């Protein structure tokens, strides 16, 4: 069986323009907006499409207020219909029903908005993330939006404990598919946050979700603009776990750059020019 999918497309399914370019991106004016993306992957397999994260969805574009006043004021999502995963998949000549599986790194509002646009897809995630979203603590409440799963998705919960993958725990999902896809649990940002590794030719592509926000954080020596450090601190649920996982990702990036390419959700640099792909 071929273990590589036919194609992996890198999509931006949501542009966000928070103010504070100097503090968030390390350059530009103090109140100048900077640009963040929602980096999603669309995988063409022999038996259908697999979507890794969904960004914002059509419902968010039509009803922005459901994302909450604070989030919209702080992050300034642009909510462009043509950017939703649904629009981009249709533009490529597919139908929504062709998306058989969605794998979510976590269920934060900027990663799960497209779920209602693919109601027939199985939605794969770690059990801990589903528990957090269904029974959020007071602190977690603003990050999860019930409208994103009001259609009662076909959840498929996974638990860590498969084969070791470069020293990380892994969970093989879709074992019957030609696309080799692993969940690599990376908790810290949320309770059940996970990376998703996809075999691409002889290498692996690891989508790290929000385990870090900027590619310079996994370079050696690491760096991160102060505003982003603060933003990450405000949005993580377990600082110790997050820090430890970030260190492990940095180590992975340093030692195995020939075999593994890392991308994260919100850094526009790796969407347009991912390391290793020019
Ligand atoms: Zn995010």
CA of 143 to the centre of ligand 1 (A): 10
As a whole number of angstroms, the distance between CA 245 and CA 232 comes to 14
In the three-class reduction of DSSP (H, G, I as helix; E, B as strand; rest coil), residue 8 is classed as strand
As a whole number of angstroms, the distance between CA 188 and CA 194 comes to 9
Residue 52 has which token pair? 């890794």
Give the CB-side neighbour count of residue 187, counting CA atoms within 13 A. 17
Place of tokens 């139908």: 95
CA of 152 to the centre of ligand 1 (A): 22
CA of 55 to the centre of ligand 1 (A): 8
What are the Cα distances from residue 102, in Å, to 17, 60, 215, 220? 26, 18, 24, 33
CA of 211 to the centre of ligand 1 (A): 9
CA of 167 to the centre of ligand 1 (A): 25
What secondary structure letter does DSSP report for 168?
Answer: B
pLDDT at 278: 41
Query: What are the pLDDT tens digits along the chain (278 aa)?
Result: 445 678 999 999 999 999 988 888 888 888 899 999 999 999 998 889 999 999 999 999 999 999 999 999 999 999 999 999 999 999 999 999 999 999 999 999 999 999 999 999 999 999 999 999 999 999 999 999 999 999 999 999 999 887 899 999 999 998 877 789 999 999 999 999 999 999 988 899 999 999 999 999 999 999 989 888 888 888 899 999 999 999 999 999 999 999 999 999 999 998 876 555 54
Residue 46: Cβ-neighbour burial (10 angstroms; 0-12, 13-18, 19+):
exposed
CA of 265 to the centre of ligand 1 (A): 6
CA of 105 to the centre of ligand 1 (A): 9
CA of 1 to the centre of ligand 1 (A): 34
CA of 111 to the centre of ligand 1 (A): 6
CA of 2 to the centre of ligand 1 (A): 32
pLDDT at 277: 55
As a whole number of angstroms, the distance between CA 228 and CA 214 comes to 8
CA of 107 to the centre of ligand 1 (A): 9
CA of 154 to the centre of ligand 1 (A): 22
pLDDT at 275: 52
Do residues 154 and 123 touch, judged by C-beta distance below 8 A?
Answer: yes
CA of 110 to the centre of ligand 1 (A): 5
What are the Cα distances from residue 220, in Å, to 53, 156, 163, 224, 252? 27, 36, 28, 12, 11
């Amino acid at each position: 069986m071929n273990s590589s999918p036919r194609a992996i497309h890198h999509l931006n399914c949501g542009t966000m323009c928070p103010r504070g370019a100097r503090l968030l991106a390390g350059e530009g004016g103090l109140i100048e907006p900077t640009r963040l993306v929602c980096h999603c992957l669309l995988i063409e397999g022999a038996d259908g499409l697999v979507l890794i994260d969904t960004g914002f969805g059509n419902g968010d574009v039509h009803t922005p207020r459901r994302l909450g006043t604070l989030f919209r004021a702080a992050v300034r999502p642009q909510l462009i219909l043509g950017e939703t995963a649904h629009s981009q998949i249709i533009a490529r000549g597919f139908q929504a029903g062709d998306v058989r599986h969605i794998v979510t790194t976590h269920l934060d509002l900027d990663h799960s908005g497209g779920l209602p646009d693919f109601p027939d897809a199985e939605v794969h995630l770690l059990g801990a993330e589903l528990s957090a979203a269904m029974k959020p603590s007071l602190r977690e409440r603003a990050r999860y939006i019930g409208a994103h799963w009001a259609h009662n998705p076909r959840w498929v919960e996974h638990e860590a404990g498969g084969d070791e993958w470069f020293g990380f725990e892994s969970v093989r999902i879709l074992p019957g598919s030609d696309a080799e896809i692993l969940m690599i649990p990376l908790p810290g940002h949320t309770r059940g946050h996970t990376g998703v590794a996809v075999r691409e030719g002889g290498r692996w592509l690891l989508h790290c979700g929000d385990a870090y926000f900027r590619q310079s954080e996994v370079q050696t020596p690491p760096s991160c603009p102060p505003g982003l450090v603060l933003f990450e601190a405000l949005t993580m649920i377990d600082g110790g776990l997050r820090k430890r996982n970030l260190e492990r990702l940095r180590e992975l990036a340093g030692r195995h750059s020939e075999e593994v390419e890392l991308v994260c959700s919100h850094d526009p640099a790796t969407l347009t020019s991912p390391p290793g792909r020019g």
